[in-house]
Structures are given as structure tokens and as C-alpha cells.
Structure 1
Amino acid sequence: MTLTLLPDVGDLLRLSPQYNAGTVVELLRFLGASEVWWATGLDPDHPLRDALPAARIGIRDVSPDWAFADAEYHQLTNFLNQYPQGRERLRAAGQAERALSAALAEPLSAVRVTSPELLDAARAYHAATRTALDEGPGTRWQERRLSELAAALQGQSGVVLVALDDLPGLQTLIPESILPDLTNFAPGELSRVRALVDRAWQLNEGDDLGALLAALDRESGDLVTPKAELDAAAASIHLAVGDLAAARALLERAAHGLTDLPRSLPGLTLARLGQVRDAQGDRDLAVRTYRAVLALNHAPAIARETAEAGLKVPFSLEIPATD
């Protein structure tokens, strides 16, 4: 019985054209996995919480709830920050974290996230943090947490999704575990379309908006990135330049194409549609749209916050003046 450890990079999936939620789905299909052991973070808005169920890949949670460890970590750092020696220890830990962040800032791919170079960077980060702050609250109880994970996975087989920085430690505790053999793997259409939409959601100054809109319009969508999300992403571009009519038309089309999966999309789409209707002065319909967001079984935190704010104060869009 073999466990294959697949690295998770959390929200960096949204920023990595070659290692995004679509790529992970393709990797799991390449590995022949119809389900995955979830041994990474408990963030309900994790991009794979949307992508995997939408792709009909099951999730089996084994990650223990160690949220209290974050609170203890912050208590420790606040305490240490009161003393010169404590601040020196925090500087050493901060340097280790910056080194890992720098390694993760380089372009990610399926090959790179499983590379000895990046896994060694994760090992070095935890070793330096442990040296600076000791095992316990300073490491968010990593040794105990990984021991619990290893025990939960004892005797199991399949693919385990594990936070990249936890992977080396978990592999040590489960010596029979392996990394995926990516010799014949190449990202495909799911990865490409996901990268396009992730890019459209994060506009930068100087972007060719016309090219982005044309690219979005050419796609028909798939299970991970359906047509409704392509329309919603295009609407966000129109909204960014103040074209409310085009944004509303696309969002209303997206709303009519919504299904239960991906589970975050209805909330995000309706919250933005409520804002556009508000900005056009259609307050009654905007309020009903915000309430529809709050009535959903699942809506991302940002969608709920947007809807709650919209119910209190009508949304207005400020368009910068142009010469």
C-alpha cells in the first residue's frame, strides 16, 4: 500500500499559471486518483475545495484542526517582541520565512514543487524556525501535528494533498510514502483555461484588457472553470473600466448559467452582480441579489462580506476622471 504525497501551495495556486487548481486536477487524473486525502490547511475558501469536487474528485479530510496553534504562535511572538533577545530570535525566524517565500516566488510547476531544491528550502525553513523559536508554539507544534497526520494515514493508500512545507517532515514519518513520478506528465487544457481566468481576476496596470476579453470569449469552459466563471471574469474587467452595462449583461448571463459546482462561484457572481445593480441605481433588485448570496448554503467569506456591506450601504463605483 503506497501513499503518494502531492504538494499543495494554497492561494499560490491562483498565481501560478503552470501549477494552478486545473493543474492539480490533471495531476490527480494522471495518477489515476478518484479521491484525495486532504492533509493540508482547513481554509474553506481554498481553491481546491472548489476545483476537486467540480472535477468529480472526492476529498477525504484527515487534517486535524490546529487553529489554536496560530493563536499560541501570535501570543509567543507578542511576548518575545517585548525583549531584546526575543526580538533577535524573531528576526532569525523572519529571515527563514523570507528565504522560503523567495523560493516560492519563483515560477512554480508540477516539477518544481516536487524538486529537491524546493523541498530542501522547506526543510531549511523549519530547521531555522525551530532553532530560533523552539519546537512548540514557535513552530505551530509542527512535530505533533505531523505525527497526528502520519497516524491518521497509517495503513492507507492513494494520493495525499499536503502543504508543501509540511511534505518533507511527513515523508520522514511515513518512509514508505513517495513523490509522484512526473516523467510523462504535462499540463493540459484544464490548466491553461484556469490560468487564463486566474489572470483575469488579478488585473495589473498595463494589461491588454482587450486581449484578455477576447481570450475569455473564445473559451467554452470546463468542469473546473465553467463558462459562467469566464463570463464573471470578463465582467470584472468591464467593471474595472466603469462599463457597467457590459458588466451587468455578462454577470446576468453568468448567473443564469450557475450550478452547484464550483461551490464558490454562485456567491462570488451574485455578490458582484448586486454591486453592479446598485451602481446602476437598481437598489431593490440589488438588495434581493445580496440576500440571495446570504441564503446560499456556501458562499466565500468575501462574497458574504460584500453582500452584508451592500445591504447596509448601497454600493457606488467611483470612476477616475480622464483628460
Structure 2
Amino acid sequence: MTDAPTPDRPTLTLFPDLGDLYRLQPQFNAGTVVELLRARNVREVLWASGPDPDHPLRDALPAAGIAIREGFTADWAWADAEHAELQSYLQQYPQGRERMRDAARAEQAFADELTAPLTAARIPALLDAARTYHATLKDRLDEGPGTRWHARRLDELAARLTGETGTVIAALDDLPGLLDRLPGAALADLHAAAPGELSRVRALADRAWQLRDEDDLNALLEALTRETGDRVTPRAELDAAAASIYLAVGDLAAARTLLERAAHALTDDQPRSLPGLVLARLGQVRDAQGDRDLALRTYRAVLALSHVPQVARETADLGLTTPFTLELPDEPGAE
């Protein structure tokens, strides 16, 4: 006979998923998630979030030795299509347009909460914001196509999770509804969590992949060079991120040196997206240097990988038909 779940011993611990927003949050990124799961001795998670194959955690968790168990979600793409049809219908009527404006304001308010600087301690407040957001959608657009069948989807997800034990990764805005539907579940206690070294290095790499005009590129390069890497953000990725900076300023030789070093350092236990990203960028650099034959072989190597991120696949597909050329912005004052 098993003990009944209690707040101190839930059958399911729900962990918030932020999707691509992990790449934008230096204090709550994929490295942070690994740290939090390791602190709880989690060796496997139940995946109850979206199907995106390029999700940051699909790289970070297996690389850190944390298994992902699938089978709890379904394909709800059709709900997006129905939602789009409803929007087209509502646009025809003044009251419909007013309802859509109210829903859009609620969505923007929730997005503002999600994109503000985030720490683990803010998660409970975000759950309150999620409740408000979904309640507004239901009020203004009704449950069904207007909410992308949110309640029905959560009912089905909760049914699949019933009887399971362990840690569940679920979309942050689904957590309030899942907590209502799963009496034995509890939100992971994150109030005292603080980002550590994995989080810091992951934040550095995420920042380097997303250059902005105001960035101090020399400071970024120095920071990338200092780090030795870890299982979530290996040295090969740091080299590839640094190479992207050199490529952005037109230093093809330095970019190629780093990318070739990164390519030689690739191993099977690293994040699964990394080989595709490294080789796709290496193909571009070889192309830009006029080494077309080798660039073509590199693009083909990308497409032969067992997992290829979408951006790497698109880069390789285009590179096979159109040689990559580097176009640098004009220097200030240049004619």
C-alpha cells in the first residue's frame, strides 16, 4: 500500500517551461533548469510541454544526463488553425473586433511579464499572470477556438499524467490549470533558487549568439575565451559563438579557425543541436572564403546528421544551391 500524496510528498512535481524565452533570461535559462533539477536529484523528466524539436531543454537536459520521457502531449496544431478562422470571422463585426482587442491587450500584458527580467522567485507571480491571461481569453473569446481549446487540452494532458510520479516539465501558462486538475501535484519549490555556474556560462553563450548593435564585441570575445565550458555549454559551443562574432565583423580567418576547432571537438554526448549549428556556420565561412567544394561537403554533412536544428537545415539547404557571401555594413562616413 502506498502513502497518499501530501504537500510535502507530491506524486508529481510541476516545473515551469519557458520555451525559447530561456535563451533571453540570463538568470533563468537552460543551465539554471539543469542546476535546479540536479539539486533535486532528478534523473528523468516527463515532457508535457510543446513539440518544438529545437527547444533549449532538449539540448541541455540529455547533455546533462537527465532523460526526457515523452508520450504525454498530442498534436494540437489544428487548434491554431481554428483560432485563426475565428479571428477572421470576428474581424467582420465591430463587437468581434472589440473582443479581439481586449484579448490582444491581455496577451501583450502577459508577454510583458514573461519577457521582464526573470528569476526563479518570480515564478509564482507569473502563474498568477497566466491565470489572469487565460481567464480574460475565456471571457472575451469563449472556451473553444478562442482559447485554442485550452481547457480541453489540459483535461487530456492531466488524464495522461494521472497515475504518474516524478518531475513534469510543462508550459508555464499551463501550470495553474494542471495544478487544479491534478490533486497530487505541486509546483516545484523555487523560492530560494539562485543561478550558479552552469547558468552563468549558458547565459554568456545565449548572449553571444544574439548580437546587438550596442554590444561590446571585444568584451564578449574575452569572456568566451576565458571559459572552459561544461556539459550544457561545452567549449565547442563557446568557440562557435566566438566565431559568429568574428564572422559578423568580417574576420573570416579567425572564424574558420574557431569553427574547425569546434567541429573537431564535437562528441556524441554534447547538446544534440550543436553539430548542425557548428557545421552549417563552417560551411558558410568556407563558402565566403571561396572554398566552394569543401563548403558543399560541409553542407551535406549537416543534412546527414541524425538531428539538425531548423536554422542549420535551412542554412545547409540554401548553401547547396547558392554560395554564401558575406556582406558587411558600410563603415560610418563611407561613401
What's the TM-score once normalised by structure 2's chain length?
0.93
> Is 1:285 aligned with 2:294?
yes
Contact 1:30 1:185 in 2 (8 A): no
Summarize deviations over 1:26-80 as a string: whole Å, max 9, x none.
1111122101111111111110011111111011121222121111111211222
Cross-structure match for 1:97:
107
Partner Cα separation in structure 1 for residue 92 and residue 317 of structure 2: 38
Cross-structure match for 1:32:
41
Read off the aligned partner of 2:22 and give its amino acid letter: L
Partner Cα separation in structure 1 for residue 312 and residue 122 of structure 2: 33
> Is 1:131 aligned with 2:145?
no
Read off the aligned partner of 1:70 and give its amino acid letter: D
Cross-structure match for 1:72:
82
Partner Cα separation in structure 2 for residue 49 and residue 104 of structure 1: 21
Read off the aligned partner of 1:26 and give its amino acid letter: E
Contact 1:216 1:234 in 2 (8 A): yes
Partner Cα separation in structure 2 for residue 265 and residue 254 of structure 1: 9
Cross-structure match for 2:97:
87
Partner Cα separation in structure 2 for residue 71 and residue 109 of structure 1: 34
Partner Cα separation in structure 2 for residue 151 and residue 3 of structure 1: 13
**Secondary structure, counterpart of 1:178 in structure 2:** strand
Partner Cα separation in structure 2 for residue 182 and residue 132 of structure 1: 33
Cross-structure match for 1:204:
212
Per the TM alignment, residue 184 of structure 1 is displaced from its structure 2 partner at its CA by 4.7
For structure 1, the 5+ residue unaligned runs are: none
Summarize deviations over 1:126-163 as a string: whole Å, max 9, x none.
00001111111111111111111111111211111111
**Secondary structure, counterpart of 2:294 in structure 1:** helix
Paired-residue identity, %: 69
**Secondary structure, counterpart of 2:169 in structure 1:** strand
Which of 85, 106, 110 lines up with 2:116 in the alignment?
106
Read off the aligned partner of 1:105 and give its amino acid letter: T
Per the TM alignment, residue 85 of structure 1 is displaced from its structure 2 partner at its CA by 2.0
Partner Cα separation in structure 1 for residue 191 and residue 21 of structure 2: 24
**Secondary structure, counterpart of 2:168 in structure 1:** strand
Summarize deviations over 1:191-239 as a string: whole Å, max 9, x none.
1100000010111112111111111111111111011100000000001
Query: What does residue range 105-184 of structure 1 map to in structure 2 within 5 Å?
Result: 105-113=115-123, 115=124, 117-182=125-190, 184=192
Contact 1:130 1:139 in 2 (8 A): yes
Which of 212, 228, 243 lines up with 2:251 in the alignment?
243
Read off the aligned partner of 1:296 and give its amino acid letter: L
Cross-structure match for 1:52:
61
Query: What does residue range 174-323 of structure 1 map to in structure 2 within 5 Å?
Result: 174-182=182-190, 184-260=192-268, 261-322=270-331, 323=334
Contact 2:121 2:193 in 1 (8 A): no
Partner Cα separation in structure 2 for residue 78 and residue 60 of structure 1: 38
Read off the aligned partner of 2:118 and give its amino acid letter: L
Read off the aligned partner of 1:286 and give its amino acid letter: A
Partner Cα separation in structure 2 for residue 11 and residue 240 of structure 1: 23
Read off the aligned partner of 2:65 and give its amino acid letter: R
Per the TM alignment, residue 271 of structure 1 is displaced from its structure 2 partner at its CA by 0.6
Cross-structure match for 2:29:
20
Partner Cα separation in structure 2 for residue 318 and residue 201 of structure 1: 18
Partner Cα separation in structure 2 for residue 69 and residue 109 of structure 1: 32
**Secondary structure, counterpart of 2:186 in structure 1:** coil
